[in-house]
Structure 1
Amino acid sequence: MSVRGWRLKVEHRTGFSYAGKVVSSYNEARMSPRNEPRQAVLEARIEAFPPARTYRYEDYWGTVVTAFDVHTPHDTLEVTATSTVETLPPGDLLDADAGAGWTELASPEQVDRWHEFLLPTPRTALDGELTELAESVRATQPTPHAAALAICERVREEVAYTAGATGVQTDAVHAWRQRKGVCQDISHLVVGLLRVIGAPARYVSGYLHPSPSAVTDERVVGQSHAWVEWWAGRWTAFDPTNGIPVGERHVVVGRGREYADVPPLKGVYAGPANTGQGVEVVLTRLR
């Protein structure tokens, strides 16, 4: 029996405005979806204005980076990423009591293998309260996978998704204390809690179509999205903000330890102050 997924078109525009003319800028865009087993990229292009020659490479974490320099004086910079991707529904999901056990995760071989995904980062480091929470969940769950699902559920119960409640510099502890945040904060919280219990965890950036029953050819305003993956014998993807496995509505762009490894657009420039950043994401289900 064939599994039918979705074909999604993603249009992502972002950029910066400046208080005057910028002499030159050096930029990196992480806005191109990846080819991988559950996702096929049919088209992906990135265009910059002012026009610039671009070149592409994969960074240390495997994310596709489009780099470009602009040496024409400009007071705005705009980057447009357009891609068409075929995705699949969730499949081959682990049962709650399946996967690697606690002993396997604690073995020197696995700790060394996934060392970078076990360490805290500025946005995923936890305080004493959250560390105790993680350890209490671990103590009540038979497997790392079951504990990970329980952590996702607990964070979703405690932290309300609230658009605009936080910024890109917000860390997990701050989001937890105010009990609200966006998908980035919820993912940072889950990643931090997973690492405390010894489960390798990584932060995933991409896009999510907001409607499970999307009408084909209807352009829908969306946004960048974030979710998590943990290793329990194999990597397992889950969207803790929505409490669902990652499936046909999700488009993967990049993975890393936290947001700082996968920002959509970053760079350095010579010129006056940055006065703002604009973002627009439009998603269309093509079939």
Structure 2
Amino acid sequence: MIYDIRHVTRFDYGNAVKFARCNLRLKPIDWAGQRLVDYRLAIDPTGSTTPAHAEAGLAHVTRLVVDQPVRSLTIESIASVAVDRLVPVPAADDPTLGEVARMARDSRDLSAGCPASYLYPSPRIPLDRAIADWCARDLDPARNSLEAGIALARRIQTEFAFDAEATLVDTSPADAFHQRRGVCQDFAQIMITGLRAAGLPAAYASGYIRTIPPPGEQRLVGADATHAWVLLWCGPQRGWVGLDPTNGIWMAEDHIVVAVGRDYAEIAPVDGVVLGSGAQKMEVSVDVSPRAQTWPDAGDCHCPTGSG
């Protein structure tokens, strides 16, 4: 399956911004089961863009500098990604969670995608005893690693309510856990907290998921969203396996990975600094369409969405 992805971010400023410097992590990476086919980035008004080094995580980073006064800024990211990824099937010879933890500790791999990089707490995902205890019910060290991972993802999906009004982008895993409410970022961070507390390598995946409208209803333009889920390292043979606690499913053909990091802060789609005063409003519109479909006209994108 080839997906065409259009991700538009628009900033409107209360007063003219004199200078802006942003890090953009919008270009999807190549990952197991997916390949970037084509990509282009458009900025309005035009700014200077240069490739930048990813200081943490696995991401393509573009540095954007706008050095003229602006009242608005639009960043349009258009990608085509080929995805060929089957749903994982747990097998009798998969390692147990205890074996995974041991292999991760013994690993000598120091690359950006090595399991050791994702064993420990990170700034946005600290250790939390209450979350660790709650997740431990599914994380018996003797249990098959894939079976345990999907069991925990499904329990989060069942026992937590999706509520876009309950949390903010900087809400801690502990606060979302206490509410038992939140969005995909919260559920991913809660699951990662529990996995790392059990000594397991767990990464934060940022990207997209294709949404399919109910029978008889048309797909809304711009109504897709950025998404977040969990990658659990299940030994050198299986590698990283994706688990989506928001939906209680495996990462498969409907998921497109954009970036992988220890937490959201390392791989936020857009971050940076602006020099100016006044309020700022941001709108995001995302479309994820199979190649057989055609893009709508740019003027038709009226449905802002956020992460989650």
Name the TM-score, length of structure 1 as normaliser: 0.88
Partners of 1:96 and 1:261 lie apart in 2 by 35
Could you list the per-position Cα deviations for residues 180-220 of structure 1 after superposition, in whole angstroms to 9, with x for gaps in the alignment?
Answer: 111111111111111011110000000111129999x9774
1:82 Cα deviation (Å)? 0.7
Partners of 1:116 and 1:199 lie apart in 2 by 11
Partners of 1:79 and 1:115 lie apart in 2 by 34
2:80 maps to 1:84: yes
What secondary structure sits across from 1:36 in the alignment? Answer: coil
- Is the Cα contact below 8 Å between 1:104 and 1:110 reproduced in 2? no
2:76 maps to 1:75: no
Structure with bigger strand share is 1
Task: After superposing the two structures, state which structure 1 stretch, 68-77 or 115-124, moved more.
Answer: 115-124
User: Letter of the aligned partner of 1:36 in structure 2?
Assistant: W
From 26, 42, 56, give the equivalent of 2:51: 56
Which sections of structure 1, spanning at least 5 residues, go unmatched? 1-5
Change beyond 3 A, Cα 1:39–1:57: farther
Could you list the per-position Cα deviations for residues 145-176 of structure 1 after superposition, in whole angstroms to 9, with x for gaps in the alignment?
Answer: 33322221221121112233211101111111
Which sections of structure 2, spanning at least 5 residues, go unmatched? 293-308
What secondary structure sits across from 2:165 in the alignment? Answer: coil
Change beyond 3 A, Cα 1:138–1:91: closer
Partners of 1:201 and 1:73 lie apart in 2 by 42
Partners of 1:214 and 1:83 lie apart in 2 by 27
Partners of 1:284 and 1:48 lie apart in 2 by 22
Count residues with an aligned counterpart: 281
From 256, 259, 265, give the equivalent of 1:260: 265
2:41 maps to 1:40: no
Name the TM-score, length of structure 2 as normaliser: 0.83
Could you list the per-position Cα deviations for residues 22-54 of structure 1 after superposition, in whole angstroms to 9, with x for gaps in the alignment?
Answer: 111111111111223411212111111110121
1:205 matched residue in structure 2: 206
From 89, 102, 106, give the equivalent of 1:109: 106
- Is the Cα contact below 8 Å between 2:10 and 2:74 reproduced in 1? yes
2:166 matched residue in structure 1: 165
User: Letter of the aligned partner of 2:28 in structure 1?
Assistant: P
2:136 maps to 1:139: no
What secondary structure sits across from 1:130 in the alignment? Answer: helix
What secondary structure sits across from 2:22 in the alignment? Answer: strand
1:124 matched residue in structure 2: 125
CA RMSD in angstroms comes to: 2.6
Change beyond 3 A, Cα 1:70–1:83: same
What secondary structure sits across from 2:287 in the alignment? Answer: strand
User: Letter of the aligned partner of 2:31 in structure 1?
Assistant: E
From 232, 238, 246, give the equivalent of 2:234: 232
What secondary structure sits across from 1:119 in the alignment? Answer: coil
